[in-house]
Amino acid sequence: MIVDYTGQQFGNYRLTRRLGQGAFASVYLGQHIRISTQRAAIKILHLIDVDINKFQQEAETTATLVHPNIVRLFDFDLRNDVPFLVMDYAPSGSLFARHARGTRVPLATIAQYAEQIARALQYAHNKNVIHRDVKPENILVGPNDELLLGDFGIAVISRTGRTTLQASFGTGGTPLYMAPEMFKGRPEKASDQYSLAIMVYQWLSGDPPFTEGDAIQLGFQHTFVDPLPLREKVASIPLAAETVVMKALAKDARSRYSSIEEFASLLSSALTNSAKLTPSPESNRPRVQLGQSPADTSNTKSDKQWFNEAETARQAKRYEEAIKAYTHALDLNPNYALAYHNRGLAYYELRQFSNALADYGRAIAISPRAATYYINRGNVYHNELKDYEKALADYTKAIDLEPDDAFAYNHRGNTYCALKQYNKALTDLNRAIALDARFALAYSNRGLVYYELKDYTHALSDYQHALQLEPKDAFAWNGCGLVYYELKQYEKALEHYNKAIEINANSAAYYLNRGNVYHNQLKQYEKALADYGRAVELEPRYALAYNHRGNTYNSLKQYEKALADLNQALILDPNLSFAYGNRAYALEMRKEYQRALQDYERALQLDPANTWARESRDRVARLIKK
């Protein structure tokens, strides 16, 4: 009988609830007893005959595995001879939950999955660590949708003690995914390759090759029975992909690929190049119905087949193609909520926001308890329509449905920041980080809140922490630039803006911020004009970019060009006080004092604390009196 440790303390963590359990361990959500914002996954191992010294030695080895696609182990200990591991908590679940048995995964997605998992395993293999239990349950989903390989603790288990399964069968691992040599107690690096190949087989066909019987019967099948060729299960699977997978499933480990990285690379090429393969023989083609042209096969596909085609197209960023395939799926199944939702994602990428909103709404009407649907609809309201109240309503609904959803707290916190409700923003972002300590975007967004509060020390700390977690987070590089600008460290600000633009060359805001350094501090007006011009190209309705470029023309005494840009800025945003002040200055320089006075007055109405506008208004008023 497995003991329930809920409520008890292990190390510095109190176990608040059990997340799951298996033959080898139970996993609990742990709350740090002194740091209220810190949570972790506590894995309590089910061991008998444990060798404590070996446990410590192997746990120390496992703790050295630091990789972007590996769940971090940052502590371990024993409590009353019960060994436990303290690991990062990934609240987004696992691939087991994302792709249930019996469902197929798009080819492009499989390629991405295999590459990430193989990178993690190759890193471990280079350190002579074998995972021994590669399976969908142990592949977690990180905050940025990256994969995190968890449960390297099986390496500890298999060498320091025995589980119930080992006691009866002399092995360690999960029989559905175990290599033949594992059943003989002789795991090697190629065993992990075999397990990954089993997962790929399942994602391609819907099920693992062997599913019937107990551990002994499964062991016999893995050791002596050849798996059914993939194309006999699903004829549309690319021949090249079948060839790669079947080699990785060789009974003899020496007949597999020389490394798991080689396997993943060849698999990715086979899957991503599948569209270029020769068409199937005539005998394998669908029968053509009376009145149906030979090219028309739409009536032969199921809603799920159309959905999988759509997913493959969307992952490859072929959004219009994806939308057509989702629509075919929905024609066959009008209650297919996920198809509506994912078609909404494709519309969003095409910036067809009204269509995206309509599809998210349909998905919610069919599945009103799907938190993700509310989050993505909220993203349209927040990011594109600036309808923050509707965004708040959707994010709050998502939190009601999934109280431990770090993404929902992050997004709602970001919306509170946009509304300048900074205390509420901090509360939500702290909660997001407590739920997922590796959530780089939450640190970046909290950094923005601190920046708005002029708490530059905490802002810089959060942005830098985000970059440690995600070095290619352009938003965090830009945030560091903003802070360094306020600290008058302009060269550092430029360095960080340059990095943000290098990562994301399509963000108008990053060019605007770099232009500010060139204009305001370095007086390099031509460079400033180039950056503001690029911002306008990227966002033709970006009022601030027109304002800043107009101000730069003022500095160059090119007042006609300045007026053209400042007029455009005020057409786009009639309440932009800076633009009134800058236009007033251009008019003043042209000796159009009455119009200049009106603009200075309007600038002060919008921003009564603008001392420059007040002094300029008074100066122009004196000139008029003369």
pLDDT tens track for 139-148 = 998 877 889 9
Cα angle 9, 15, 16; round to 5: 140
Taking residue 228's Cβ as centre, other Cβ atoms within 10 Å add up to 12
Chain segment 574-626, per-residue pLDDT in tens = 999 999 999 999 999 999 999 999 999 999 999 999 999 999 999 999 999 87
* Cβ-Cβ contacts under 8 Å for 80 (sequence gap 6 or more): none
Chain segment 112-125, per-residue pLDDT in tens = 999 999 999 999 88
Output the CA torsion sign for 303, 309, 315, 316. negative
Mean pLDDT of 406-420: 93
Highest mean pLDDT among 73-82, 217-226, 235-244, 490-499: 490-499
Mean pLDDT of 425-438: 90
pLDDT above 90 covers what percent of the chain? Answer: 59
The one-letter code for the residue type at 75 is D
| Pairing status of strand 39-45 against strand 82-87 | antiparallel
Domain residue ranges of the chain, discontinuous segments joined by +: 9-87, 95-276, 575-626
Torsion angles phi and psi, residue 435, rounded to 5: -75, -30
The CATH code that applies to domain 9-87 is: 3.30.200.20
How far does the chain reach from its first CA to its final CA, in angstroms? Answer: 97
Count of residues for the chain?
Answer: 626
> Which residue, among 509, 538, 540, 513, has the nearest Cα to 528 in the 3D structure?
513
Give the number of C-alpha atoms closer than 13 A to the C-alpha of residue 337, restricted to the C-beta side. Answer: 13
Mean pLDDT of 315-325: 90
C-beta of residue 296 within 8 angstroms of C-beta of residue 132: no
Structure tokens at 142: 């990180």
pLDDT category at 173 given cuts 50, 70, 90 is low
* Cβ-Cβ contacts under 8 Å for 617 (sequence gap 6 or more): 584, 597, 600, 601, 604
Structure tokens at 302: 């199921």
Q: How far apart are CA 600 and CA 616, in angstroms?
A: 7
**Alpha helix stretches (DSSP H) within 350-488:** 353-366, 371-379, 388-401, 406-418, 422-435, 440-452, 456-469, 474-486
Overall pTM surpassing 0.75 (yes/no): no
Strand partners, 21: 26
Chain segment 383-396, per-residue pLDDT in tens = 999 999 999 999 99
b/e burial code for range 255-265 (CB count within 10 A of at least 16 → b)? ebbebbbbbbb
Q: How far apart are CA 183 and CA 100, in angstroms?
A: 26
C-beta of residue 24 within 8 angstroms of C-beta of residue 163: yes
51 is known as an active-site residue: no
Structure tokens at 47: 């061991």
* Cβ-Cβ contacts under 8 Å for 502 (sequence gap 6 or more): none
DSSP symbols for 562-605: HHHHHHHHHHH-TT-HHHHHHHHHHHHHTT-HHHHHHHHHHHHH
- Token pair 């997962």 in the structure block, residue: 199
Chain segment 358-373, per-residue pLDDT in tens = 999 999 999 888 888 8
Q: Which of 51, 81, 133, 607 is catalytic?
A: 133
Mean pLDDT of the chain, nearest integer: 87
Q: How far apart are CA 168 and CA 162, in angstroms?
A: 10
> For the CA atoms of the chain, what is the radius of gyration?
30
Which CATH entry fits the domain spanning 95-276: 1.10.3720.10, 1.10.510.10, 3.50.50.60, 2.60.40.10? 1.10.510.10
Q: What share of the chain is helix, strand, coil (3-state, %, to 5)?
A: 60, 10, 30
What does the pLDDT read at residue 295?
42
Mean pLDDT of 95-111: 89
Torsion angles phi and psi, residue 20, rounded to 5: 175, 170
Asked if residue 81 has pLDDT above 70, the reply is yes
Asked if residue 266 has pLDDT above 50, the reply is yes
For the CA atoms of 513, 528, 599, 617, the dihedral, rounded to the nearest 10 degrees, stands at: 100
Asked if residue 379 has pLDDT above 90, the reply is yes
For the CA atoms of 233, 234, 235, 239, the dihedral, rounded to the nearest 10 degrees, stands at: -90
pLDDT category at 216 given cuts 50, 70, 90 is confident
Q: Which DSSP category does 278 fall into?
A: P
What does the pLDDT read at residue 444?
94
